[in-house]
């Protein structure tokens, strides 16, 4: 090689190195922006680059939603090469906080959880678990919830709940608490009228019934603990939720605590629950509103296109379907959807103008409550008020602040009042 050719090669190599160095510098300067742009570009070319890892937050091990997450993520990992960790959280408060702090990228939410979070009640009244604009990406399950008693119980109907009845009361779960509050409201009973037995976890909430420590519990017939209780000598029996016309006043008192549920006959779960009329909750995965739209779109697309691969891997996996997502929208969406999900539904010809109208209303509400809570926390900090669920000063300050900010109504009430 002569000196001229050698010099040209060196110049060419130098230019290549400089070009590469520029690309690396741009990547470092742009951070995740470049990764997101690259994923989007690859997606447009038909090759989406999945994140190397992400976490899915679920209820505790043994629950149907945890088992469902394990089922679909196992197939997803095998197909894509991405690593997905399923993280069981002790309660809804932790699930909300883990999403907000980035410990999870997806988390399980049902309407009652969402409503309580947006009102910052109980364990949601923290810096990390309070009102947040999160978005639904896909339906997990349509889950029945009801009141169970032992198979030989003297309690035959909700109307048999009376003074002195021993009832499981799990303070660590806002929606389990709401279920018991609704039951007491239906019967027009106070806490002091019954024996509320403090329970520490969701699993124990059903186990104590099988052990005979309580007479009534609020639980789901599709959860693992219910199957275990069903297998005990006395088994289970479920109390039917009476239609509104049976006692309108009692039903309306009940519904104030159980907003966002759809009442229908149970078709899944333990045999003793089949055919029993009880409330059903739409349970779904949520992400932050700021989540990458391409990631959400690709994940929803993968779940739909690969539905057949995982629907038989768990008893209730078939519920994770676009059909149930559309059912949620037709019933009247209770949480806003992420734009990535909406994009996929539009492509499938399943997005309607009526959905968009409600979506806009839900987003406006969510942003209003999120901003109000952030403003309240900032104001509380200035006054030296500790932002903790157990701090009475913080709770009263939040209630006064939200009222002064025009968000005095419960979030559920505002959602259910939408057109």
**Strand 106-110 and strand 53-58: pairing?**
parallel
**For residue 27, what pLDDT is reported?**
42
**Strand 277-288 and strand 134-150: pairing?**
antiparallel
CB-based contacts of 198, cutoff 8 Å, min separation 6: 169, 170, 171
Rounded Cα distance, 207 and 170, in Å:
12
3-state secondary structure string across the chain: CCHHHHHHHHHHHHHHHHHHHHHHHHHHHHCHHHHHHHHHHHHHCCCCCCCCEEEEEECCCCCHHHHHHHHHHHHHHHHHCCEEEEEECCCHHHHHHHHHCCCCCEEEEEHHHHHHHHHCCHHHCCCCCCCCCEEEEEEEEEEEEEEEEECCCCCCCHHHCCCCCEEEECCCCHHHHHHHHHHHHHCCCCHHHCEEEECCCHHHHHHHHHCCCCCEEEECCCCHHHHHHHCCCCCEEEECCCCHHHCHHHHHHHHHHCCCCEEEECCCCCHHHCCCEEEEEEEEEEEECCCCHHHHHHHHHHHHHCHHHHCCCCCCHHHCCHHHHHHHHHHHCCCCECHHHHHHHHHCCCCCHHHHHHHHHHHHHHHHHHHHHHHHHHHHHHCCCCCCCCCHHHHHHHHHHHHHCCCCCCHHHHHHCCC
The domain locations on the chain are 3-30, 53-140+286-416, 144-281
Whether 182 and 258 have beta carbons less than 8 Å apart is answered as yes
Rounded Cα distance, 142 and 284, in Å:
9
Span 53-140+286-416: which CATH code?
3.40.190.10
Measured CA to CA in angstroms, residue 103 lies from 23, 84, 94, 282 at distances of 30, 12, 10, 24
Q: Tell me the backbone φ, ψ of residue 280, rounded to 5 degrees.
A: -125, 140
Print pLDDT tens along the chain (419 aa): 544 444 444 444 444 444 444 443 344 445 444 445 545 555 554 689 999 999 999 999 988 899 999 999 999 999 999 999 999 999 999 999 999 999 999 999 988 899 999 999 999 999 999 999 999 999 999 999 999 999 999 999 999 999 999 999 998 888 899 999 999 999 999 999 999 999 988 889 999 999 999 999 999 999 889 999 999 999 999 999 999 999 999 999 999 999 888 899 999 999 999 999 999 999 999 999 999 999 999 999 999 999 999 999 998 899 999 999 999 999 889 999 999 999 999 999 999 999 999 999 999 999 999 999 999 999 999 999 999 999 999 999 999 999 999 999 999 999 989 97
Please state whether 129 falls in left (phi above 0), alpha (psi between -120 and 50) or beta.
alpha
Assess whether the region 53-140+286-416 and the region 144-281 belong to the same CATH fold. yes
Whether 294 and 287 have beta carbons less than 8 Å apart is answered as no
CATH homologous superfamily of 144-281 equals Periplasmic binding protein-like II (3.40.190.10)
**For residue 37, what pLDDT is reported?**
53
Instruction: Enter the pTM of the model.
Output: 0.82
334, with CB counted inside 10 A (0-12, 13-18, 19+), is buried
The strand pairing partners of 149, in sequence order, are: 237
Rounded Cα distance, 300 and 321, in Å:
10
Rounded Cα distance, 21 and 34, in Å:
15
Rounded Cα distance, 102 and 90, in Å:
17
Rounded Cα distance, 105 and 95, in Å:
11
Whether 279 and 331 have beta carbons less than 8 Å apart is answered as no
Whether 5 and 13 have beta carbons less than 8 Å apart is answered as no
**For residue 153, what pLDDT is reported?**
98
Q: Tens of pLDDT along 351-388?
A: 999 999 999 999 999 999 999 999 999 999 999 999 99
């Amino acid at each position: 090689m002569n000196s001229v050719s050698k010099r040209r090669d060196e110049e060419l190599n130098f230019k290549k190195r400089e070009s590469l160095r520029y690309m690396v510098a741009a990547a470092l300067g742009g951070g995740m922006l470049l990764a997101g742009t690259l994923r989007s570009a690859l997606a447009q070319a038909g090759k989406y680059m999945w994140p190397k890892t992400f976490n899915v937050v679920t209820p505790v091990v043994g629950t149907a939603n945890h088992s469902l997450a394990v089922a679909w993520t196992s197939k997803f990992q095998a197909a894509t090469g991405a690593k997905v960790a399923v993280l069981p959280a002790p309660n809804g408060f932790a699930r909300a906080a883990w999403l907000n702090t980035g410990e999870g990228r997806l988390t399980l939410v049902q309407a009652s959880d969402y409503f309580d979070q947006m009102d910052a009640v109980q364990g949601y009244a923290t810096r990390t678990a309070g009102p947040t604009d999160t978005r639904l990406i896909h339906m997990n399950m349509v889950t029945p919830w009801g009141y169970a008693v032992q198979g030989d119980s003297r309690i035959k109907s909700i109307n048999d709940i009376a003074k002195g009845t021993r009832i499981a009361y799990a303070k660590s779960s806002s929606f389990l608490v709401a279920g018991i509050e609704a039951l007491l409201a239906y019967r027009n009973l106070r806490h002091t009228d019954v024996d509320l037995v403090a329970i520490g976890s969701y699993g124990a909430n059903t186990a104590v019934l099988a052990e005979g420590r309580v007479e009534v519990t609020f639980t789901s017939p599709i959860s693992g603990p219910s199957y275990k209780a069903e297998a005990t000598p006395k088994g289970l029996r479920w109390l039917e939720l009476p239609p509104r016309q049976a006692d309108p006043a009692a039903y309306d008192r009940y519904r104030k605590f159980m907003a966002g549920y759809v009442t229908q006959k149970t078709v899944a779960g333990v045999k003793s629950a089949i055919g029993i009329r009880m409330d059903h909750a739409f349970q779904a995965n949520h992400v932050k509103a700021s989540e990458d739209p391409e990631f959400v779109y690709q994940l929803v697309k993968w779940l739909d296109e690969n539905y057949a691969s995982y629907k038989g891997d768990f008893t209730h996996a078939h519920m994770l379907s676009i059909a149930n997502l559309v059912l949620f929208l037709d019933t009247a969406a209770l949480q806003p959807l992420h734009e990535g999900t909406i994009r996929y539904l539009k492509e499938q010809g399943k997005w309607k103008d009526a959905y968009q109208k409600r979506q806009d209303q839900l987003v406006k509400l969510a942003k209003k409550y999120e901003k109000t809570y952030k403003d309240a926390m900032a104001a509380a900090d200035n006054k030296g008020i500790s932002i903790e669920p157990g701090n009475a000063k913080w709770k009263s300050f939040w209630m006064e602040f939200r009222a002064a900010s025009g968000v005095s109504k419960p979030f559920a009430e505002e959602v259910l009042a939408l057109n």
